[in-house]
A and B are shown apart, each in its own frame.
Chain A
Amino acid sequence: MLVKRSQAHKKREYEEQLMACMDSMYNLGYRLTLNREDANDLVQEAAMRGYRFYDKFEPGTNFKGWILTILRNLFINQYRKRKREPSKVNYDDLENFIGAPDIGGATEEIFGEELQSAIDQLPEEMRTALTLFYVDGFAYKEIAAIMRCPIGTVMSRLYMAKHNLKKKLLATMQNEV
């Protein structure tokens, strides 16, 4: 009876925390897979795996960070092999800082779609860093824990992601002209 009650309590506790993170999981899942059905499957598998290893989660620590780490690792191990990765960023011209284009007002609408497409074309680690920073509001340190990399790497991934987005948008602006 005692064992059953604690299992029920564990499940309830897990479900509550999980549902609170569902939007973040779905958003990251979509950014990783770039496909809504795959995102649903990935989130579902991550949820089941999280429950299986819930005993290893330390109460009081960052549950969202923990479950997003599981989701991302699942993507890397199972899904990434099946997906064609977007073309790699050319790091050679990273040396030259590109100033942000002057976007505002009516032009922002035009660039909205371009921006989404440009984000989708970034390599996975940059899409992940952008999503965790801009959508979930994680700090560099928290992103580093989820992505299992140094803080310096998080900074350079965000930097490179924005650099690449600027390049694409500037190219679009020149074409519009």
Chain B
Amino acid sequence: MDDKNFHQNLYRYLDGEMSPEEKNEFEAAMKDNPLSQSQLENEQRFDQVIRRHMIQEEAPYELRERIIDRLQHRSPFERLRETAWFAPLASGLITAFIAVIFFAVLAHTPREFTAFAQGIDTHIEHLHGTYQAEFLTDDIDAAVHWFDEKLDFAVIRPHIAPDKAKLIGARIIQINGRKAAYFMYDVQGHPLSAFVMDMNGEPLERIRDRMLRENDNARIYARNMKGFQAVLCYHRGNDTGCMLVTDMTQDELLPLMG
């Protein structure tokens, strides 16, 4: 038996953790080894010293009395906590409270203005062929009239000089979760998308830093993303907006708007 094994077995033997077979085997090995026997005897004496000095004290009488008294006179809250339904009810209330706070914060958190990004993405999808015109026409009045009774706001003509851009067609699209009028144009080989939208409730204050111009009737905002230019003209009077998206530069686009 090597040293490490011997010491491990020594303690297991002293602590009464050996099976009868292991105990017999250990005692047989010890019999022929006086040095190990002497070590065992020393360890046994040391063990007994520890046992003699680690005696169990009696718990104070006052402690017992105090505990019994507390068990007898538990507070109403302590009694409530012991009931089976307390934990699920408490968890439910806490969850409900957190949900209320969350939705209250959400309701008061200002929305982001996402129309620019959505308009540009829609224009890109149109370039890829995803969106085709539902109504093919080059007559802007016919196109505007086509939206009658299809949308719940008055669709205006997009702000594009008719002699500078060729109308191809129109369709309905979703911007900001609302239906918008989508006019598809070609400007000397440059595809151009024009979106006419109901701007009621849109957080225009969030894009204040993107405002180019302002007068009594309208404001113009611009944004450049993913290599495309988006220009939004907002009409205060009827709360509508017209957003143009194209790959032309701002300097090329603004003159088209008149």
Contacts and interface: CB of A to CB of B under 8 A. Distances in A.
Interaction A to B: yes
Interface string B153-183: 0000000000000000000000000000000
Contacts of A18: 67
A115 B56 contact: no
Interface string B2-15: 01000110011001
A133 B42 contact: no
B42 A99 contact: yes
Interface residues of B, number: 37
B15 A140 contact: yes
Contact of A27 (B3, B16, B51, B56): B56
Interface string A8-25: 000100110011001111
Contacts of B128: none
Given A26-B59, A40-B60, A140-B15, A47 B67 contact: yes
Contacts, number: 104
Measured as residues with beta carbon below 8 angstroms from the partner, the interface class of chain A is 35 or more
A25 B54 CA distance: 14
B15 A130 contact: no
A22 B66 CA distance: 12
Contact of B11 (A24, A55, A131, A159): A159
Contact of A134 (B7, B11, B43, B51): B51
Contact of A162 (B17, B45, B46, B56): B46
A155 interface: yes
Contacts of A155: 8, 11-12
B28 interface: no
A22 B53 contact: no
A171 interface: no
B70 interface: yes
A66 interface: no
A168 interface: no
Given A43-B67, A158-B11, A97 B56 contact: no
A165 B67 contact: no
B46 A103 contact: yes
A25 B58 CA distance: 10
Interface of B: 3, 7-8, 11-12, 15-17, 39, 42-43, 45-46, 49-60, 63-64, 66-68, 70-71, 74, 78, 81-82, 84
